[in-house]
Structure 1
Amino acid sequence: MLRLALQGDVVQEVTGVEVVEAAPAPRPPFWDEPWRQAAAGAPVRGAAARRRCAAHLDSLGRFLAVADWPDAAARARRLRDAALAGAPARELAHAVERLTRRVGRSRTLRWLTSGIGVLPREQALAAGIGGPALAADGDAWDRTVRWLTEAARSAAACDDRRPLAPDDPAGPRGAWRAVPALPRLAGRPAAPAARRGTGRRPAHPRQPRPRPGRTRPGGRREVTRG
């Protein structure tokens, strides 16, 4: 649970982190199932690629929704569902590549997310964080690019019937024990609401940025979110 200082709906500061114990999961993580099957000797390279593609599209869809780009978020979620439903690799790879080009070329999204949530590789390792956050070795934009790249690569391999590669030992999400890193990831003030129009208009080099010093109504207040 994070304790936040807000100004309007903009996070200004993380004032505290509290661990809330959750009930044990009733079943193993969904995203890791092919890797568990591989440990039993099943040839699951294609199934693992399909699950990895869907997992990264799921992360991307949630991220784009937060960034206020509902059209792209909905597209990522539809492709996630198609991957899990067994869409042919060629068809899925083409659709994911189109999404990758669209999101990856967005100057507005890159401006929105660059410099936010910086997590260098050394700090991720020290905090016990794995998966895309570790591999990205950077900020929120770097993690977005990682999701896109891995989703496109995995989509093309969804029909591969060979055994899992020896250098692919873990599921798509990796370890995530990020409590020590949360203040660093969320503590930087978020962008003003004027920066949240991602995808609603074409990005342009001359697009005006919010003028410094402007404030949102509502004032600064303490809230608790879990």
Structure 2
Amino acid sequence: MGVTSVLARWASTSVHVLIVEVPGWDESRMLLEAELDRRGWRVALSPADADLLAVCGMPGEELRAAFDLLWNQLPGPRTRVSVTTSVALSALLDAAVAHLVDDSRQRKDARARSRPAAAEDQRPDAGEHDGMDHGGMDHGGMDHGGVDHGGMDMPMPGGIPLAGGGDDRDGLEMDVLNVPLGPVLPHWPAGLVVDCVLQGDVIVSAKARVLEAASAPKDEPTTAVTDVAGRRIIRLCDDASNLLALAGWQTAAQNARRLRDDALRGADIADHAAALDRLRRRVERSVLLRWSLKGISLKGISLNEISLKGISLDEIPLKEIGLAAGARANTGNATPPDQATVDIRHRLIGWLREAAVLAGPSSGTQPPAASDSDRARQAQLALAALPELLRGTDLGTARLLIAGLGLDTAALAQTHEQTHE
């Protein structure tokens, strides 16, 4: 018992946390990530690697079922918390550590988990097969997060459907498989589910939907940032961090997230302009990133209509952001005008450049804030554009495209909440 207690307390100094986010609760998720960084804890990328499941927000019925399935996949010792406010967040995580090192509690949890599994199937190999993680199977490096693989005939044990047949582009028959992406994936829009039809690892068709939250946050913003520019910088850095992480550049992703967290704490954004511009230059000069993202673009989408979370620099008068007339073509903004095909690398550079300009002392007046209806309309257009955007891509490219689009599921969640009031 003494050795067990010592090992448990040693492991609790670096807890692995699987974060799941409900649409509209992105602020809770960002505050939690900032607290995890402060503690030196790690963000888990799959249930198998997690000690703690942290649910950010109040999920609706479908999301709750997906989160419950994830919870069943966590190995022991394990614990679970619900994050709906920044108040007492540190105390909440301290309590989670206490649960993890409580040996009697963890033994009781393990016994409760083993009884239903044994009663369900008495076959000699049932325990071995049931222990497989079907919800987190790796399709091109992606954890599908425990979404039901239904809709196919002749299911195999564990709910994995057999592939059907279909003609590929060369007229040859290939296996066809229905695979949902989401709603729980690392660096993925909250609540998004993309139901894909795959031939090999190529998406031949897709349907996108967003699972609903039980409710939107009711409290006033808990961060110290209330100005439009500061909150816009936070969103830009958050999306840049997600795209950089998916592209495999973890150091740059951490830098973007650290800048986001500094802004989230209410630090003077003018102090971050130089750091944001340095990060932008690193991204712009990186040959490896250029090669990694080569040929990946948002085709056929008008970014003047679908701008990231509302407002782009193209809608702000040049004199208000300190740019000379005619300089806009070289700024690399997040939403370049009159361009139906946008390379996501240029979009990433544009996010960082826009954040640096907004943080700089020459930014002048605040950018205009997008109305809730405008944000919702833009998010709906982006969601509707996803099936055509993803058709013909492989799964890895699809993940990068979705990250580069910057889908605002929070705006969709807010619209749904208003229609039901």
TM range (shorter): 0.5 to 0.7
Farther off after superposition, 85-94 or 72-81: 85-94
- Counterpart check, 1:153 vs 2:357: yes
- Counterpart check, 1:93 vs 2:93: no
Determine if contact 2:299/2:389 at 8 Å carries over to the other structure. yes
- Counterpart check, 1:135 vs 2:335: yes
* TM-aligned CA deviation for residue 145 of structure 1: 1.9
Partners of 2:307 and 2:363 in 1: CA distance = 26
Partners of 1:121 and 1:187 in 2: CA distance = 14
- Mark the CA change 1:113 to 1:180 in structure 2 (over 3 Å): closer, same or farther: same
Q: What's the TM-score, normalizing by structure 1? A: 0.60
Partners of 1:26 and 1:186 in 2: CA distance = 29
Q: How does 1:37-48 map to 2 (within 5 A)?
A: 47-48=227-228
- Mark the CA change 1:13 to 1:121 in structure 2 (over 3 Å): closer, same or farther: closer
* TM-aligned CA deviation for residue 24 of structure 1: 5.8
What is the match of residue 22 of structure 1?
A: 212
Determine if contact 2:203/2:394 at 8 Å carries over to the other structure. no
Match of 1:81 among 243, 252, 261: 261
SS at match of 2:209: coil
Partners of 1:189 and 1:105 in 2: CA distance = 27
- Mark the CA change 1:190 to 1:104 in structure 2 (over 3 Å): closer, same or farther: farther
Q: Deviations over 1:12-38 (max 9, x none)?
A: 21522043541364138x99x99xxxx
Q: How does 1:54-203 map to 2 (within 5 A)?
A: 54-120=234-300, 122=302, 125=305, 129-131=306-308, 135-136=335-336, 137=339, 138-157=342-361, 164=366, 168-170=368-370, 174=375, 175-177=378-380, 178-190=382-394
Percent identity over the alignment?
Answer: 31
Partners of 1:100 and 1:123 in 2: CA distance = 21
Determine if contact 2:238/2:260 at 8 Å carries over to the other structure. yes
- Mark the CA change 1:187 to 1:110 in structure 2 (over 3 Å): closer, same or farther: farther
Determine if contact 1:53/1:154 at 8 Å carries over to the other structure. yes
Amino acid at match of 1:16: A
Runs (4+) of structure 1 moved beyond 4 Å?
Answer: 157-160, 190-193
Amino acid at match of 1:97: D
Determine if contact 1:121/1:134 at 8 Å carries over to the other structure. no
SS at match of 1:176: helix
Q: What's the TM-score, normalizing by structure 2? A: 0.35
Structure 2: 5+ residue runs without aligned partners? Answer: 1-192, 313-332, 401-421
Partners of 2:389 and 2:361 in 1: CA distance = 32
Q: Give the total of aligned pairs.
A: 172
What is the match of residue 26 of structure 2?
A: none
Partners of 2:272 and 2:334 in 1: CA distance = 26
- Mark the CA change 1:6 to 1:104 in structure 2 (over 3 Å): closer, same or farther: farther
Q: Please say which structure displays the higher CA radius of gyration.
A: 2
Q: How does 1:201-216 map to 2 (within 5 A)?
A: none
Determine if contact 2:272/2:359 at 8 Å carries over to the other structure. yes
- Mark the CA change 1:123 to 1:94 in structure 2 (over 3 Å): closer, same or farther: closer
Determine if contact 1:49/1:154 at 8 Å carries over to the other structure. yes
**More contact order relative to length (CA 8 Å, sep ≥ 6):** 1
Partners of 2:369 and 2:208 in 1: CA distance = 32
Determine if contact 2:298/2:343 at 8 Å carries over to the other structure. yes
